[in-house]
Structure 1
Amino acid sequence: MNFTDYKSVSVITYKNTPCIQIKNANAEALLSLFGGHLLSFTPTSVNENILWLSEEAIFDEKTAIRGGVPICWPWFANLRSGDDIPAHGFVRSQAWQLIAIEEKSDAAEITETTLTLQPETLSLYNTSAHLTVRLVVTISKDCKISLISSNTGNTPISITQALHSYFNVKDITTAQIDGVTSNYYDKVVDTHGNTPSLPYKFESETDRIHVAEVDTSTNSQTVTIRSHNNFDINIGQSGHDSIIVWNPYIDKSKSMKDMADNGYETMLCIEAGNTEGTIVDAHSSVEISQWFSAKTR
């Protein structure tokens, strides 16, 4: 692909990893070709990266990167207990390739940049030779990420997946989220049917799967993170059956080699996920999307 044809896109190396840098009138972003992994999104309106990237993230083109927006596909968490296979699928630790770029402009300025990527190969862990995936990332005043799974075969395929987004917060002990009120499965203590306390705040390790409250094929859900002094982070998502909320808190942060001991203090995961199993019918596609922006107060 000839990048000189595009004003807002360039190829750079970040921490020895090939990346796509996007700069337009509304935002800047950095996307790693290892994992198809969005590392940063900085809207011009606040001039601050609203995604969180671990200071201890490992950039060796083998290990999944801690932070940004990892792609969990074609399974979420562990596919089968006891199997020697990667948690959260395999595409977040594979090389991706850029297959299309689209720019939209207003007068002389590029205001929106859309990238389409796909894995260079699909791992032997893939659940079917007929299952493929594409990632579409649009950078403008907000950032939209869509994961499109396609089944080229003659029989339905079941997958789970997630857009595992890490967001920046000023202080997890004072942060709160609005818009997540449904009951949840608590992975920390392995209990179902828990009701969240409102306002939704964080005082310990949090790993929860909230069932979506609407039909997300025709409706979207909105979550707001309130933490920063001059703006909130608004998150919308569709095509999901669950909202996953995660913060490792003190002890787990200390046990993770790719997170600083105090890393939990400034991050919060709000994930769009299909955790219950999504059927991709024969010769059809399904799409899960998340979009986010900084809303000034």
Structure 2
Amino acid sequence: MTQENLTSSGRDESKRTPTLRLEGPQGAQATFGLHGAQLLSWTPSACATERLFLSGASRYGDGQSIRGGIPVIFPQFANRGPLPKHGLARTRSWTLLGQAPACARLELRDDAHTRAMWPQAFRLLLDVALSERALTVSLRVENPGHSAFEFTAALHTYLRVADIAQVRLHGLGGGYYLDATRDFAACRQDEAELRFGAELDRVYPDAPRELRVDDGPCRTLVHSDGFADAVIWNPGATKAAALDDMEPGGERRMLCVEAAQAQRAIRLAPGEHWQGSQTLIATD
């Protein structure tokens, strides 16, 4: 594992984010930052193409959220609660507990800053494992305190695509979803494959464990365990233009397929833990 620096294109280059690189078999690579324990890049050996989207206009630094990669959402999904959007884990600096060429473990514990926002004792562990064709990210939530707490969470995965208009997402046909663009109205997806154009923002409760993203010659299986839901998001051109950390035209090159626990909160008693994971598999 080697240490590098990642800078945001078009921004002050004195503001840098330290990153670490994983090196898997047959040339597979992944990069993550200690800020937010965020995966920023993944290139499987099966395909020399970058598979995670990272906006060139992303903001970096303490308290900032990075637009792209795989942000860790905890303990609140979106704006569905009193905390800042998507909670506090993605904007905090994590501690690297262990590393090997193709895997790493990171930790985040509560401190005075987090308790000022959310008065709970917690411990998060993020495990990253890289193989020839797959990237697995596992999130473990522990309650080391003396009182129970509830949380929602997600691995907010931004997949990089060649052209969102040509992407097809399989596995959600026939299921129902909550449409965030219509105040979370309950709807049914009748079409077998999901296509994209205008803004799309959906929560699929109790989603299938495996979805497939077809992007021209690139095909990615998205498998989840522990997380009950799937979140699918693309901002569309109009909303993307209003995001100051989205590069021009970036919405055409990204699709969020997220393993999430968004609809029903998890309750942890003192001493209990919960774990969920997402595996991305390049099958092209």
Q: TM-score, normalised by structure 1?
A: 0.86
User: What 5-or-longer segments of structure 2 have no aligned partner?
Assistant: 8-15
Q: Secondary structure at the match of 1:188?
A: helix
CA distance in 2, matches of 1:59, 1:119: 18
Corresponding residue SS for 2:166: coil
The answer to whether structure 1 residue 88 and structure 2 residue 80 are counterparts is no
Equivalences for 1:226-237 in 2 at 5 Å? 226-229=214-217, 231-237=218-224
Q: Give, as a single letter, the amino acid of the residue that structure 1 aligns with 2:199.
A: E
Residue in structure 1 matched with residue 203 of structure 2 by the alignment: 209
Structure 1 pair 280–120 and aligned structure 2 pair: CA distance change class (3 A): closer
Tell me the equivalent position of 1:245: 232
Task: State the Cα distance separating 1:79 from its structure 2 match.
Answer: 4.6
State the SS of the aligned residue for 1:170: coil
Alignment of 1:130-141 (within 5 A): 130-141=121-132
Counterpart of 1:119 in structure 2 is 108
Structure 1 residues 213 and 70: CA distance shift in structure 2, 3 A: closer
- Indicate if the aligned counterparts of 2:109 and 2:123 stay in contact, CA closer than 8 A: no
Mapped to 2, the partners of 1:32 and 1:162 lie a distance apart of 18
Q: CA deviation at 1:147?
A: 0.7
Cα deviation, residue 288, structure 1: 1.3
Counterpart of 1:173 in 2: which secondary structure? helix
> Which residues of structure 1 form unaligned runs of 5+?
1-8, 104-112, 215-220
| Count of aligned residue pairs for this structure pair | 269
Structure-1 separation of matches of 2:212 and 2:59: 29
Determine if contact 1:17/1:61 at 8 Å carries over to the other structure.
no
Aligned to 2:238, what secondary structure does the other structure show?
Answer: helix
- Structure number having the greater helix percentage: 2
| TM-score of the superposed pair, with normalisation by structure 2 | 0.89
Q: Deviations over 1:1-23 (max 9, x none)?
A: xxxxxxxx122222211111112
Deviation for aligned residue 1:211: 0.9
Counterpart in the other structure of 2:258: 271
Root-mean-square deviation (CA, aligned residues, Å) is 1.7
Instruction: Give secondary structure in 2 for the equivalent of 1:124.
Output: helix
Deviation (angstroms), 1:168: 1.1
1:148 aligns with 2:147: no
Render the CA deviation track for 1:158-191: whole Å, top value 9, x for unaligned.
Answer: 1101100000111111111011232000000124
Equivalent residues of 1:177, 1:226 under 8 A apart? yes
Other-structure match for 1:101: 99
| 1:284 alignment partner in structure 2 | 272
Q: Which runs of 4+ in 1 moved over 4 A?
A: none
Aligned mates of 1:126, 1:100 — CA distance in 2:
28
**Local SS of the residue matching 1:265:** helix
Structure 1 residue 99 displacement after superposition? 0.4
Whichever residue aligns with residue 219 of structure 2, its letter is D
Identify if the C-alpha distance between structure 1 residues 285 and 121 changes in structure 2 by more than 3 Å, giving closer, same or farther. Answer: closer
Contact 1:54 1:259 in 2 (8 A): yes
Question: Which of 169, 183, 186 is the equivalent residue of 2:176?
Answer: 183
Q: How big is each residue's C-alpha offset from its partner over 1:48-79, in whole Å with a ceiling of 9 and x where there is no partner?
A: 11111112111234310000000111111125
Would the alpha carbon gap of residues 125 and 289 (structure 1) be closer, same or farther in structure 2, given more than 3 Å must change? farther
Contact 1:245 1:271 in 2 (8 A): yes
Q: Structure 1 stretch 16-25 or stretch 285-294: which is displaced more?
A: 16-25
Task: Note if 1:14 corresponds to 2:12.
Answer: no
1-structure distance, mates of 2:136, 2:78 = 23
